[in-house]
Amino acid sequence: MAHSETEFLQLIDENKGIIVKVSRMYMDDQDGRQDLYQEIVYQLWKSYATFKQQSKFSTWMYRVALNTAMVFLKKEKKHQIYDSLEERHDFPDESYNPDKDEQLKIFYQAVHELNAVEKALIFLFLEGQSHREIAAHLGISEVNARVKLNRTKERIQQIIKKYNYEF
């Protein structure tokens, strides 16, 4: 068991950027991001034994992280007791300063107005996932992924224009 825990923590450390980005996409405040980050790590650990290694760890991690974020929003879980993983894996220090990067601030502001599925679509797109990969992660057809992604991109542009900002 200790070997799998060490292996798990190493994989989490190597791929923590995925969790940070998902947390940022779904939560707009630091406390919410930390809570979601911890919930994702917790859910990954709970289901790690079921990871059959038929895909890359990061691919499996995307699916678990996005599903956790969607459930997290629905249940509005803000406080939960976590096992020793919390002590072993602290939330990374986020040194983002919104004053330095107005574009990013406006983008995330727009993203927070999207629904959970639209956020997942944009996240996977920004991660460089193909329409086929996006479809597989979300359990929809490739055509549906392409259509939904295009509509979501248009929606983000409309939201950004509402803020009188243009990229």
69 and 101 fall within a common domain: no
| pLDDT band with cut points at 50, 70 and 90 for residue 28 | confident
CA distance 76 to 71: 8
| pLDDT band with cut points at 50, 70 and 90 for residue 50 | confident
pLDDT tens per residue across span 129-146: 899 999 988 889 999 999
Does the pLDDT value for residue 86 go beyond 70?
no
Would the pTM of this model clear 0.85, i.e. be above it? no
Full domain range(s) for residue 135: 95-166
Does the pLDDT value for residue 100 go beyond 70?
no
76 and 102 fall within a common domain: no
- Overall number of domains in the chain: 2
| Count, residues in the chain | 167
